[in-house]
Structure 1
Amino acid sequence: MAVLSLHLLQNCLVFINTLMIQEVLMEDNHKLLSRLNPEDFRALTPLIYSHVNPYGTFRLNMRERLSLGDKNVS
C-alpha cells in the first residue's frame, strides 16, 4: 500500500508540474519564448523535484491556491 501511495503521489506531482510549466509557457511572455530554441523545449521536463521537501513535512495554506489556468479565482 505504501509503494502504491508513493506512485500516486509521484503522478500527482508530475501532473501539477506539467500544469505549472504549461501556464508559464502560455503566458503572454514573448521575451521568454523568443529566447528558447527547439533544444530548450526538448529539455523541459515535469520531473523536477527541487520544490519537494524530502522530510515529509510541508506547509499548507488553505487561503491560497494554485490558479493553474483559472484567472478568475484568487
Structure 2
Amino acid sequence: MDLIFYRLIDNMLQKYKEKGFSKAQIKELRKGIESDLDISKYDDINLSSEEMFDIRWKLTFEKYEEGNEDYERKKLSRNTIKTL
C-alpha cells in the first residue's frame, strides 16, 4: 500500500476523531477500511473496541464465505431446511 492510500484513510477517519472516538476504536475502523469492509455497520461510538473487533471479524468471515464455491449450496440447503 502506498502513502497516498494511507492519507486517504486518515482523511476518512478524521470525522470519527472529531466525534470523539477513542484510539482503539479508530484502529478498528482503520482495519475495516483496509480490509475493504462496510464500516458503517459498526461505526457507533457506543460500541467498545472489543465489540467493534468482533463485528469486524464477523464481516470478514461473511465476505470470504460468499466467495466460497460451497456458499450457494449451503445457503440453498439452509433455505430448504427452513421451509420443511
Determine which structure has more spread, i.e. the larger CA radius of gyration.
2
The interval holding the TM-score normalised by the smaller chain is 0.3 to 0.5
TM-score between both structures, scaled by the size of structure 2: 0.31
TM-score between both structures, scaled by the size of structure 1: 0.34
